[in-house]
Structure 1
Amino acid sequence: MNVDHEVELLVREIKRLGKEGANGKYSVTFGVLFNDDQCANIFEALVGTLRAAKRKKILSYDGELLLQGVHDNVVVSLL
């Protein structure tokens, strides 16, 4: 898969799993994304796709690299 396509899929999954805030933007915690069975089947490298989307300024989260367990409560927000 190409990166742009995976980023589009990631946006769709964040909207499916996340909640829409008062600002109209969706957000979800990394733990919810990482532990979701559908996401696990779609993304071979979820962390890499998150980093690519962050570089493209499609989403934001604190830190550079998210690790399962340690960063489960980090909020990932669509921009």
Structure 2
Amino acid sequence: MNVEHEVQLLIEEIKRLGRPGSDGKVEVSFGTLFTDDRCANIFEALVGTLRAAKRKKIVTYEGELLLQGVHDEVPIRLLKDD
């Protein structure tokens, strides 16, 4: 799969699993994305897809590298959904 396609799939999954935050932007925790069965089947490298989306300013989250367990509560906010 190409990166653009995976980022589009990521947007769809964040919208499916997330909830609007106080500013109206959809957000989901890293742990929710990481442990979701559908996401596990779609993304071979979820962290890599998240990093690519962050570089393109489609999502934002604190830190550079997210690790399961340690960063499960880190919110991932969707900045663009197109």
Band of TM-score, shorter chain:
over 0.9
In the TM superposition, what is the alpha-carbon distance from 1:20 to its structure 2 partner? 1.5
- Which ranges in structure 2 are unaligned for 5 or more consecutive residues? none
Correspondence 1:26 to 2:26: yes
- Cα RMSD, aligned residues only: 0.7
Correspondence 1:16 to 2:16: yes
Number of equivalenced pairs:
79
In the TM superposition, what is the alpha-carbon distance from 1:25 to its structure 2 partner? 1.2
The whole-number CA distance in structure 2 between the counterparts of 1:28 and 1:68 is 14
- Which ranges in structure 1 are unaligned for 5 or more consecutive residues? none
Provide the residue aligned with 1:37 in structure 2: 37
Deviations 1:16-75 (A, max 9, x none): 000022433100000000000000000000000000000000000000000000000000
TM-score normalized by the length of structure 1: 0.97
Structure 2 SS opposite 1:76: strand
Structure 1 SS opposite 2:23: coil
Provide the residue aligned with 1:48 in structure 2: 48
